[in-house]
Amino acid sequence: MHLTLAAAEALVFEVLTRNRVSEANARSVARALVAAEAAGQGGHGLRRVEAYSSQARAGKVDGFATPSLLRPFPAVVQIDANHGYAYPAIDLALSVVPDIAREQGIAAAAFRRSHHAGVLALTVERFAEMGLVALMVANAPASMAAWGGRKPVFGTNPIAFAAPVPDADPVVIDMALSRVARGKIMAARQKGVPIPDSWAFDRNGQPTTDAVEALAGTMIPSGEAKGAALAMMVEIMAGALTGANFSFEASSLFDDQGAAPALGHMLVVINPDAAGGAVAAARMGRLAEEITSDPDARLPGRRGQNARRMAIENGIEVEDELVSLIRAL
Amino acid sequence: MHLTLAAAEALVFEVLTRNRVSEANARSVARALVAAEAAGQGGHGLRRVEAYSSQARAGKVDGFATPSLLRPFPAVVQIDANHGYAYPAIDLALSVVPDIAREQGIAAAAFRRSHHAGVLALTVERFAEMGLVALMVANAPASMAAWGGRKPVFGTNPIAFAAPVPDADPVVIDMALSRVARGKIMAARQKGVPIPDSWAFDRNGQPTTDAVEALAGTMIPSGEAKGAALAMMVEIMAGALTGANFSFEASSLFDDQGAAPALGHMLVVINPDAAGGAVAAARMGRLAEEITSDPDARLPGRRGQNARRMAIENGIEVEDELVSLIRAL
């Protein structure tokens, strides 16, 4: 089915408000899920509406929560999502952190008691569109082990980064730290097909081609030991420093059972003028030019930005079944 | 040959001061190179003395430079290494940034006109020993392409991170973003042996097993496209934001030809109390405990810390040839 972005947002808004979510929160969530869909990130898009709704009904996420903000130090804010969705908390950061970063040179926002952070690329990009450089990390329910280990301790713990480029879209980087998304293994299990042995370890820490064994084991980090170390860095920033749950303490984002996930995110925003003087913008242009002068090299973020432009113009295609499922909610 | 750490430092100090380096700078450099050696990072240790000395003699690095510091914004300092070695600039950051981070909650130091940043693990660890969380990135002469590209644009651009753990050594992460160190390919070339095809691309962007072709090509990033994207993030933070040279503009760290490398580093230091309240330390302990409860899992940084303890007790082993070479300088 073909939907304009406005129609898709209206659909999500309506479903959420009928499932114990406030209008303000439903608007924020609808915008974020549809933006993910428009950027080609369906895994963080409309497919999430079902779990988001059932969690609100069950009280696993508080659809009426309002995020609160403290500024205990001049350059740091603590944002408590109060067991609500992440997006209203992220919107609050977007309204407060840019001025602090401009004034202090660098600023951090530490999020706690939060939920699925969605497509981090879309958040950091919004800071870059304001002329700022942003780094964001988030933890997520555990699916990766520490290097050499067997127990899931870390989530796929994404890292995202964006920086403005003069007269061009920002550079936007966003990566989960597992080699592949867990959804790919879930899809293989559903189809009953084997997976490459580079995707996951079984319960004994051995590479496996069996999707069932893989889901009972742990995801292989991108770059092996290095990816596992980065996942630990993210866990410390998003979990230990924020007062959020660790990945291994968080409940699932896909069902309505158990306590709130209470996940954490950390956002660091830099005023590019602070670090290198007014030349930073010109230097970003120079770097982008050097990279794109290599015919086959890619600037990160372009695919999502182009997908979004197409979606704004032409709307998005959503599977009929998914639209029916959402409408039934 | 067996040397105590003090004897090794005295040797490096003497060589440098006889090669146009001030006593203060020679002391700082000697301490850093010997600390690298003690941590088992010989590639950033005494083997660097020859190039460091010849560069000082040639004026490619200014052995008499004193780093200078500006604080244009409350939470950001700019440190100009003034074409000297990196270590005196890093020492300056260590004397100033902790107080700013404690007071502001987060602080950044942007280094420009700097040189080989050495073992970043050792720098971030010093902040963690003061109870702070530190993230540091550095660029380096170009050896990796943007993903899909053929031209070297990024250095192996390391990322390092450290955080304190109560009643234990800090967690310390430090990784170059290439799959392997370039030194391994140089060693294979010297021995005339082939390399695995996962280490480097040739000039046409194709994986190669020929060390000569590899050195004329580019290093394969750890985690492929994800590693290349992280290298770009580092390049932006350490290069674009600081006013330093980009990796592709920097001269070699291994010879005495050309202009100063004028590399950049970016350091971000977080007061753990700022983001999550006084619980952060306890939470770090909980995370470390969870990881080490998995029998084969490793906490990053332990190998270097154990090597250092051994070296403090027993001194270090240095190849006779290397000691002779250094003495001859």
- Tell me, what amino acid is at A78? Q
In-domain check, residue A19: yes
What pLDDT shows up at residue A82? 98
Q: Which amino acid is at A247?
A: S
Q: Which residues does chain A have within 8 Å of residue B229's beta carbon, measured at their own beta carbons? A: 173, 175, 300
What are the tens digits of pLDDT across the range A207-259? Answer: 999 999 999 999 999 999 999 999 999 999 999 999 999 999 999 999 999 99
**If we measure between CA atoms, which residue out of A57, A65, A69 comes closest to residue A99?**
A69
pLDDT at A137: 98
Least CA distance to A267: which residue of chain B?
Answer: B275
Q: Does B311 touch chain A (CB under 8 A)?
A: no
Strand partners, B75: none
Chain B residues whose beta carbon lies within 8 Å of the beta carbon of residue A149? 291, 294-298
CA distance B269 to B100: 9
| A161 interfaces chain B, CB cutoff of 8 Å | yes
Determine the pLDDT at residue B278. Answer: 61
Q: Tell me how far apart the alpha carbons of residues B317 and B329 are, in angstroms, rounded to a whole number.
A: 20
pLDDT of the residue at A224: 95
Whether A290 maps to a domain, the answer reads no
**Residue-range definition of the domain harbouring residue B247:** 2-178+221-276+304-328
Is B27 a member of any domain?
Answer: yes
The residue of chain B nearest to residue A110, with distances taken between CA atoms, is B275
Tell me, what's the pLDDT at A183?
87
- pLDDT, position B183: 87
Work out the pLDDT band at B277, boundaries 50, 70, 90: low
Report the pLDDT value the prediction gives residue B205, as an integer from 0 to 100.
94
Report CB contact under 8 Å: A243, B275: yes
* CA pair distance B76, B210, nearest whole angstrom: 45
Nearest to A161 by CA among A244, A284, A279: A284
Domain membership of residue B137 (yes or no) is yes
pLDDT (tens digit, 9 = 90+) per residue, B31-46? Answer: 999 999 999 999 999 9
> Judged by CB atoms within 8 Å, which residues 194-223 of A form the interface with B?
205, 222-223
For the record, the structure tokens of B26 come out as 């020679």
From A177, A184, A182, select the one nearest A223 (Cα to Cα).
A177
What CATH number is associated with residue A310?
3.30.1370.60
Count of domains for chain A: 1
Query: Which residues, in sequence order, are bridge partners of residue A110?
Result: A78, A266
Q: Which residues pair with A159 in a beta bridge?
A: A137, A175
Q: How far apart (Å, rounded) are the C-alpha atoms in residues A193 and B314?
A: 56
Best of B206, B236, B302 to mutate (most A CBs within 10 Å, chain A): B236
The stretch B259-273 carries a mean pLDDT of: 97
- Distance between CA atoms of residues B230 and B232, nearest Å: 5
A290 Cβ contact list (under 8 Å, min separation 6): B153, B246, B248
What is the C-alpha separation between B307 and B67, in angstroms, rounded?
A: 31
Structure tokens belonging to residue B77? 């300092």
CA distance B239 to A276: 9
Check residue A147 and give left, alpha or beta (phi > 0: left; psi -120 to 50: alpha).
beta
Binary contact (A146, B108; C-beta < 8 A): no
- Can you give the pLDDT at residue B256? 96
Q: Report CB contact under 8 Å: A240, B287.
A: yes
Determine how β-strand B218-219 pairs with β-strand B200-201.
antiparallel
- Quick one: which of A321, A141, A299 has its CA closest to A231? A141
Q: Which of B71, B204, B230 to mutate to test the interface with A (most CBs of A within 10 A)?
A: B230
Average pLDDT over chain A, rounded to whole? 96
Residues 231-270 of A with CB under 8 A from B: 232-233, 235-237, 239-244, 246, 248, 266, 268, 270
In a domain, B195, yes or no: no
Whether A291 contacts A302, CB under 8 Å: no
- Closest residue of chain B to A236, computed from CA coordinates: B284
The answer to whether position A191 is within a domain reads no
Who contacts A240 (Cβ-Cβ below 8 Å, separation ≥6)? A246, B163, B272, B276, B280, B283, B284, B287
Residue B298: per-residue pLDDT: 84
Residue B55 has pLDDT above 80, yes or no: yes
The complex scores an ipTM of 0.97
Closest residue of B to A285, CA-based? Answer: B240
Q: At A266, which helix (H) or strand (E)? A: strand A263-270
Check whether B239 has a pLDDT greater than 70. yes
Q: Are B64 and B82 in contact (CB under 8 A)?
A: no
Token pair of A133 as six digits: 């450089």
Q: For residues B103 and B132, is the Cβ–Cβ distance under 8 A?
A: no
Q: Do A171 and B74 touch (CB under 8 A)?
A: no
Residue A315 CB-half CA count within 13 A: 10
At residue A277, the pLDDT reads: 59
Nearest C-alpha neighbor of A264 from the set A40, A24, A78: A78
Three-state SS annotation for B215-226: HHCEECECCCHH
The closest CB to that of B106, out of A107, A243, A277, belongs to A107
pLDDT over 80 at B212, yes or no: yes
Q: Is it the case that residue B23 has pLDDT exceeding 90? A: yes
**What does DSSP assign to residue A251?**
P
Asked whether residue B311 is assigned to any structural domain, the reply reads yes
Residue A277, chain B, CB below 8 Å: the answer is yes
Q: What CA–CA distances, in Å, run from B9 to B29, B49, B54?
A: 9, 11, 18
- pLDDT tens per residue across span B160-169: 999 999 999 9
Torsion, CA B305, CA B310, CA B313, CA B316, rounded to 10:
-110
A30 part of a folded domain: yes
* Interface touch A151/B205, C-beta < 8 Å: no
Residue A278 pLDDT grade (very low, low, confident, very high; cuts 50, 70, 90)? low
pLDDT tens readout for residues A155-200: 999 999 999 999 999 999 999 999 998 889 999 999 999 999 999 9
Is the CB of A73 less than 8 angstroms away from the CB of B274? yes
Q: Who's near A327: CB < 8 A, 6+ residues apart?
A: A11, A15
Cβ atoms of A63 and A25 closer than 8 Å? yes
